[in-house]
Amino acid sequence: MADDKRPEDEPFEEGVPAEGAPGTDHAAETGAPADGIDEDELTVQDILDAADREAAEPSDEHLADLKRVTAEYANYRKRTEANREALRERVTVDVVKGLIPVLDDLDRAEKHGDLVADTAFSTIAAKLRASVERLGVTPFGAVGEPFDPNVHEAIFQLPSTDVEADTVGDVVETGYFLGSTLLRVAKVVVQVPSDG
């Protein structure tokens, strides 16, 4: 029975590896650097200098993060500027569309002879038209211009020997552009070439 020793029966010595256990590295166990420098030999200044060097050297990961964040911010600025411009244009379109009936009334009053020069009404009409033009609104649909079905709505065709191609003969309602955006087509009477 003396030969039947169990591992539990053997005295345990702290710090001594058990039989058959893999050997442990003293440097890894104590946390000392493997290059032979003992941790006790390092001064506080050495540790701080090493930390400063590590912090001063930008890692590839930090540079990649910085580039990504910079690109995201540039895209955000472009996107918000484009959204702001689109919103400004939509608001301008809405305002001008509300003023188009007023401009139509001014055109009718002018055709009827109610806009006599040097009257208060004609001065107000001129100021309103100038304000709308400053917003970038341009009227179109003048008598004599070629008929374009993309921007003109023909409400009547009138055969004529005076024209060789479809031409605007009369303007019922003026059309308007805001920049390159079509606000309203011009309603026109079209003169078409006659055969005889």
Whether 100 and 123 share a structural domain: yes
Helix ranges restricted to H, 36-174? 44-56, 60-112, 120-134
- Specify whether the CB–CB gap between 137 and 176 falls below 8 A: yes
Residue 53 lies in a domain: no
pLDDT-derived band at 138 (thresholds 50, 70, 90) equals very high
Which of 135, 156, 185 is the endpoint of a domain? 135
On whether both 127 and 170 belong to a single domain, the answer is no
- For residue 190, how many other CB atoms are within 10 A of its CB? 20
- Residue pair 158/189 in contact (Cβ under 8 Å)? The answer is yes
The answer as to whether 122 is a domain residue is: yes
Over the chain, what is the mean pLDDT?
82
Confidence of residue 18 (pLDDT cuts 50, 70, 90): low
Residues 180 and 148 in one domain: yes
In this structure, the answer to whether residues 78 and 108 fall within a common structural domain is yes
Residue where one domain finishes, among candidates 101, 135, 169 = 135
Domain-located, residue 111: yes
Q: d(Cα 125, Cα 139) in Å, to the nearest integer?
A: 15
Domains in the chain, number: 2
Whether residues 63 and 131 fall in one domain: yes
Rg of the chain (C-alpha set): 44
CATH of the domain at 161: 2.30.22.10
Domain boundary among 92, 112, 135: 135
Same domain as 154, residue 127: no
Residues forming a β-bridge with 176: 139, 184
Give the dihedral sign, CA 34/39/43/45: positive
Residue 120 is assigned to a structural domain of this protein: yes
The answer to whether residue 116 scores a pLDDT higher than 90 is no
194 or 72: which leads in pLDDT: 72
Residue 41 scores a pLDDT above 70: yes
Task: Let me know whether 64 and 120 are in one domain.
Answer: yes
Residue 33 lies in a domain: no
143 and 77 within one domain: no
Residue 143 sits in which domain range?
137-196
Task: Answer whether 0.75 is exceeded by the pTM.
Answer: no
